[in-house]
Structure 1
Amino acid sequence: MKTLFIAPTRNAVGLSSTALGLTRALERQGLKVAFLKPIAQTHESATDDSVHFARVLAHLKTPDPIPLSRAEDQLSHGAEEELMENVIALSRAATDGFGADVLIAEGLALTERNVYAGALNASLARNLEASTVLVSSLAGVTAGTLADELEIAAQNYRRSDGTGLSGYVLNFAPRELDFGGLMAELRARSPLLASGELPLLGVVAQSPALAAPRTLDVARYLEAEVLNEGEAQLRRVTSTVVTARTVPRMAHLFVPGALVVTPGDREDVIMAASLAHLSGVPLAGLMYTSDSGPEDSIEKLCRASLTSSLPVMRVKTNSFNTASRLSRMDARVPHDDTQRMDHTLDFIADRLDLAALKTRIRTPDVVGERRLPPSAFRYELIQRARAANRRIVLPEGDEPRTIRAAIRCVEKGIARPLLLAVPDKVRQVADGLALILPPGLEIIDPDTIRSRYIAPMVELRKSKGLTAPQAEAQLEDAVVLGTMMLALGEVDGLVSGAVHTTANTVRPAMQLIKTAPGAALISSVFFMLMPEQVLVYGDAAINPNPNAEELADIAIQSADSALAFGITPRIAMLSYSTGESGSGEDVEKVRVATRLVQERRPDLMVDGPMQYDAASVLSVGRQKAPDSPVAGRATVFIFPDLNTGNTTYKAVQRAAGVVAVGPMLQGLRKPVNDLSRGALVDDIVYTIALTAIQAAQVEAASAE
């Protein structure tokens, strides 16, 4: 399924009508289209305009958007990641069970109030894995300014690999538009438009008829007293006649759709409007100003008109103020005016040329491949962990961040965490943090269960000569105790490392859990939540200086881990040189490891040796390795040694401000995962989720 994000380049470009018009145009092409407004446009409690019309006119099961107040609150508190996860959940709700070919997602319109909307729209497009359609307006703008506007806006939505743009639509084109001259000037001013990377999808002209509100809408807006409703729900206001001149000098203005605004004492105007009505001119209505009305004798004379289909209203304001208010009337289409919106969508759909867009919809950027953005990764991680429903032991049970993470996991149903700690100590820490321990949070005092693991541990380590007193001493360490619980199948996984070193976490696992069948070694990966997509780094935590055989094993394990979590593996075997440009023992190790991966797993895309920039930057990759299926598009980065891997992951994490989930250990019979001692609560939550999913995968593999 392709997602198209509809984004404005500035204020008042006709965003909602374009998004819905594009939906209709694609449906005419035989495509199944779903619609999403991720975040409500205003703080109003009523249903968002575009959501309402998507439901009423397109009959789509469009979910309610996230309230704007909630989105603003999350943004102001630095919780954009949580906001994006909620958006991903909405996108799933819009498409699940529908079999959509395309999801149309409408961004926020740009206003003076929401200065954050431009950056938020770019983030929404990125996290929805969407290609963007820009919407601009020809009203009051020169071709040069428009070219600059489109060029600048496109930079916000273009991805690093050059994808991310599907086209642009120009609204409110004047009737006298010189289309050829406009396009020539746009291409001359904009390399982007000249290259065809951002194709024109349509030019939509101004249409006074489509902008015309019903007489009823005008009455509501002015809070008018309706003296005679007539056909107020059917007639539309296309012009306003404010009576300042004599009737003979303005009679030509009494045309279909004219709203006649007059004080009640202008009997000549009232009679003229009545005569026009009786002559068959469908005026939009007659509006008395200054809370006035005609004399009884005039009203009686004109009764045939004033009590018929001609709408008659009265307002308290004078004619000038009434006309001024009318000029400022909101152009939004009321929810009950489905006819006007229906005609608007047809008008727009008729003027869109979707040939270029259909090609991009039918042909994904990379066939069978998905760029998994961070929010989608986190969302899917949580959903899969919930489905797994695993019991995960946390040996650092009284550590504050761990307690917070465990509470969140219980509240969100991510896993069934078990805190190994003295219950009173956990409650004391929770009270100090003003936290409430949920009923479903399991806490076990290590002192009450330690003795029952002595004999099983002696049995597991009998080949090493472990004695009961030695086992009892080692079980004083909660990590060892938790690992024994895992070894005996009492829990499904273990997460530790918030206050323990990697060695403290991994050593008991290697001794008691041991490697999985077919695994030559234990390694690790970090899931790096980069702005555009999730990348996999391995090994940055376990193996100090792997040889070529071990490096190949690490690469294969890491690729399988990427695949298990929805990331298409393109493996870059990293070195300080690319291809045949370098020589030496270190480069040769990587070259041999690459060849081993190709021999053992011909189904995997792998290349090396390769420098980091050649692996990650498309332009550099094309220059240094033009024929490589990996260069510039790598998703799995295999470092030649621990020194390089650990340094790089920490540098990227801190300098780029990205979340690093892990390290996730690979090659164990049962999942044990380490934490960085600087881990945040969210890091712990996601690592628990990873562990729960690994546990389900281990169980599924053993059942095959």
Structure 2
Amino acid sequence: MARSVYLGSTDRGDGRQVFELGLMELLTRRVDRVGVFRPLVHDGPDRLFEVLRGRYRLSQDPATAHGIDYREAAGIQAEQGTDALVSRLVDRYLAVAREYEVVLVLGTDYADTQLPDELALNARLANEFGASVLPVVGGRAQSAESVRAEARNAYRAYHALGCDVLALGVNRVAAGDREAVEEWLRARLPVPCHVLPDDPALSAPTVRQITRALDGTVLLGDDTGLARDVLDFVFGGATLPTFLHALTPGCMVVAPGDRADLVVGALAAHSAGTPPIAGVLLTLGERPGTEVLTLASRVAPGTPVVSVPGNSFPTATRLFTLEGRLDAATPRKAETALGLFESWVDTEELLDRISVGSTDRVTPMMFEHKLLERARADRRRVVLPEGTEERVLRAADVLLRRSVCDLTLLGPVDTIRKKAADLGVDIGGAELVDPQESELRRRFAERYAALRAHKGVSEELAYDVVADVNYFGTLMVEEGLADGMVSGSAHSTAATIRPAFEIIRTRPDATLVSSVFFMCLADRVLVYGDCAVNPDPNAVELADIAVQSALTGARFGVDAKIAMLSYSTGSSGAGADVEKVREATELARERRPDLLIEGPIQYDAAVEPTVAAAKLPGSQVAGQATVLIFPDLNTGNNTYKAVQRSAGAVAVGPVLQGLRKPVNDLSRGALVQDIVTTVAITAVQAQESGA
């Protein structure tokens, strides 16, 4: 029978989705197959299940994730009794439990359910499912005393009904009360208590959600603008100078549709970044003329302007009752929720109590989760030279929301802020530095001139060189102002890594800089080297690549069994290419006799046990290799791309190795998630190097 965790509650409005999302994140780190079951559902799509299915790549059929709807449940309970209802739901649950290692059960939501004693029903279901319960209590707009009392009563209620209470979650507590509430509860309850502060961004509606709720019409704006969180409302009625002083970051301006001056003024303020607004909402069904809308679209491209039919008072009344929802269209809310959960929940303690054993399989998602977890455990600072690039800004938003690392973004500061405002991303926690204007420029020029004096570089020339964002970022790493650097989404590989070769240079135990890709297959992670840097390494260099790749793999949890690849296995072939691999194998063994190394060996014999048994019986590496070293860049680069595209593998990298401090290169086609992962890898490398 699958292990299961039942997320229960005592009332609606507890913001339980933070815990639901956080628990799914934890469970998918440990096991490959996690199922979801919601016993009772409302009509319409299950927004949270769609979020979980998309984010965690669940293969579960949505039809199996639900028991029955509330209306049917109320009828069964009224006509046949609670036992009949519970029996029906247990049958549906067991069908899911048979297919998965762990099941996350999402309890009822207390929202117009028409069920008597809903808490008792949740407790009964948890017991019948054999699930441990994690009750969640909401603390928004409550005093510390009220939150403490409600949380203790929640524990007592579930415990008294025979439930195995795993832990207690308390959400949306006033930030100033969080620590005191947690200390009080932990001193009085026999289970861990995880208390989360209220985060306004989670409950803030997006512009799109407001538009739908008010039956509005989008006059201007793109999908990015409509996804912005609305953190405040500013109602326009004053003159423009007075009105501009009232604007706040992330606000939505609400004004009559005939106030063209306020529309243009608010958008001009947004364009200047003083402050960035979420959008403009025009009431009375009035719309500015074509000339005004054309001007507005040029002043702040992408910023939403929405028209609604009602007048200001009923519009305001409706606005103040709206609350943001976490759904598939609000991915940044998911990142905020996970960042909140991971910042305030002792995840290791919670996982230990759930007692979910780790699987031997390592899926791409598990690998990515572990990276973020390790980076977060010992936060480092990573500099991103391409601070004005959209994908970099979106990745920075995710990294900051998840508290993965500290960030420095390089580029013209006003340009970065404006671009971030236009994209609706929050980079408020990042350091922004303009190399052209920074007081560090002269210091860096002196340092670079000293390092490159043997090449005839003067301080005057160095002053121009270090204004380049990649040189400036590399010097930040060299000088200890950042622990690592990631670039390449808009620069060539040469432009990214040349400064590292000149300034950071190789470690004493490395003869060259090389690279690896982590190839995340369906059930394991392999290390491929070198597929990005060295075109035709000689035997000595190939041996170094093998040793460095083994070290890199080990740092990220890959137990190194090294295969030195060739078109020949063992002594079956000859030729210059085979001899190079054979010599490199011997050199690597001499250098590191503690490592398991086999070569020359063909790819199939390296990874497939049945082929290995025929071609190289008795080998400790053949058939189970985890680190695969290619003889040249042509072979390596083509192989990794073939496996990536044909086998559906996730390729993480290239990860540079051999440098004294970590610098990593991105593909110019890198997705936002690729950038997030590479930054996390860089942060972990910085931990390992003691940067």
Q: Which runs of 5+ in 1 are unaligned?
A: 8-33, 47-66, 85-107, 118-217, 227-231, 238-332, 343-367
1:538 equivalent among 493, 518, 529? 529
Equivalent position to 1:633, from 624, 631, 637: 624
The corresponding residue for 1:608 is 599
Q: Distance in 1 between matches of 2:483 and 2:74?
A: 67
Q: 1:580 aligns with which of 571, 575, 580?
A: 571
Q: Structure 1 residues 337 and 398, CA, compared in 2 at 3 Å: closer, same or farther?
A: closer
Give, in angstroms, the shift of residue 506 of structure 1. Answer: 1.3
Match of 1:44 among 31, 40, 43: 40
2:212 matches 1:223: no
Pairwise mapping of residues 108-187 of structure 1 onto structure 2 (< 5 A)?
A: 113-114=63-64
Tell me how far 1:42 sits from its aligned partner.
2.6
**TM-score, normalised by the number of residues in structure 1:** 0.52
How far is the alpha carbon of 1:665 from its aligned partner? 0.9
Please name the residue that 2:510 is paired with: 519
Q: Which has the larger radius of gyration?
A: 1
Answer whether contact 1:661 1:683 (CA < 8 A) is retained: yes
Q: Secondary structure at the match of 1:481?
A: helix
Other-structure match for 1:73 = 51
**Closer/same/farther in 2, CA of residues 116 and 641 from structure 1, 3 Å limit:** farther
Deviation at 1:462, TM superposition (A): 2.2
Name the SS of the counterpart of 1:524 in structure 2.
Answer: strand
> Are the counterparts in 2 of residues 370 and 568 from structure 1 also a CA contact under 8 Å?
no
Q: Distance in 1 between matches of 2:125 and 2:65?
A: 30
Is 1:397 the counterpart of 2:372? The answer is: no
CA offset at residue 427 of structure 1? 2.7
**Do structure 1's residue 694 and structure 2's residue 685 form an aligned pair?**
yes
Q: How far off its partner does 1:398 sit?
A: 0.6
Matches of 2:127 and 2:686 in 1, distance apart? 55
Q: Give the corresponding residue for 2:538.
A: 547
Residue type matched to 1:336 in 2?
Answer: R
Alpha-carbon distance change, 6 to 572 in structure 1, aligned in 2, over 3 angstroms: farther
Give, as a single letter, the amino acid of the residue that structure 2 aligns with 1:39. Answer: G
Structure 2 match to 1:409: 399
Instruction: Tell me whether 1:667 sits opposite 2:658 in the alignment.
Output: yes
Residue 584 (structure 2) aligned to one of 589, 593, 598: 593
Deviation at 1:564, TM superposition (A): 0.8
* CA distance 1:502–1:43, change in 2 (3 Å): farther
Seen in structure 2, the aligned counterparts of structure 1 residues 593 and 441 have a Cα distance that, compared at 3 Å, is same
State the 1:593 CA deviation. Answer: 1.1
Cα distance in 1 between the residues matched to 2:604 and 2:409:
43
**Amino acid across the alignment from 1:388:** D
Question: What residue number does 2:275 align with?
Answer: none
Structure 1 pair 225–511 and aligned structure 2 pair: CA distance change class (3 A): closer
Determine the structure 1 residue equivalent to 2:610.
Answer: 619
- Structure 2 unaligned blocks of 5 or more: 5-29, 68-72, 88-120, 131-357
Equivalent in the alignment of 1:178: none
> Structure 1 80/455 Cα, relative in aligned 2: closer, same or farther at 3 Å?
same
CA drift of 1:438 comes to 3.3
Work out which of the residue numbers 440, 450, 455 in structure 1 matches 2:429: 440
SS in 1 for 2:547: helix
Within a 5 Å distance, the mapping from 1:80-95 to structure 2 comes to 80=56
Give 1:487 deviation, angstroms: 1.0
User: CA offsets per residue over residues 92-135 of structure 1, 9 Å max, x none?
Assistant: xxxxxxxxxxxxxxxx7x79x24999xxxxxxxxxxxxxxxxxx
- Alignment-derived partner of residue 469 in structure 1: 460
2:312 equivalent to 1:336 = no
- Give the drift of 1:399: 1.0
Q: Which amino acid aligns with 1:443?
A: L
Q: Distance in 2 between matches of 1:565 and 1:391?
A: 19
> Normalised by the size of structure 2, how large is the TM-score?
0.52
In 1, Cα distance between equivalents of 2:665 and 2:562: 23
Q: Report the 3-state secondary structure (helix = DSSP H, G, I; strand = E; otherwise coil) of the residue aligned with 1:41.
A: strand
Aligned runs of 1:236-635 on 2, under 5 Å?
Answer: 336=124, 371-433=361-423, 435-449=424-438, 450-635=441-626
Amino acid in structure 2 at the alignment position of 1:402: V
**Deviation by residue 1:326-378 (Cα, 9 ceiling, x = unmatched):** xxxxxxx9953899889xxxxxxxxxxxxxxxxxxxxxxxxx99553222211
User: Over aligned residues, Cα RMSD in angstroms?
Assistant: 3.6
Structure 1 runs of 4+ aligned residues shifted over 6 Å read 4-7, 34-37, 337-342
Maintained 8 Å contact 1:427/1:437: no
State, as a whole percentage, how many aligned pairs show the same letter: 47
Distance verdict in 2 for CA 1:71–1:625, change over 3 Å? farther
Secondary structure of the 2:124 match is coil
Once the two structures are TM-superposed, the CA of residue 382 in structure 1 deviates from its matched residue by 0.2
Letter in 1 for 2:598: D
**Kept after mapping to 2: 8 A contact 1:673/1:691:** yes
CA contact (8 A) 1:402 1:681 kept: yes
Residues 571 and 606 of structure 1 are in contact (CA less than 8 Å); yes or no, is this contact kept in structure 2? Answer: yes
Contact map agreement 1:430 1:437 (CA 8 A) in 2: yes
For these two proteins, the number of residue pairs brought into alignment is 396
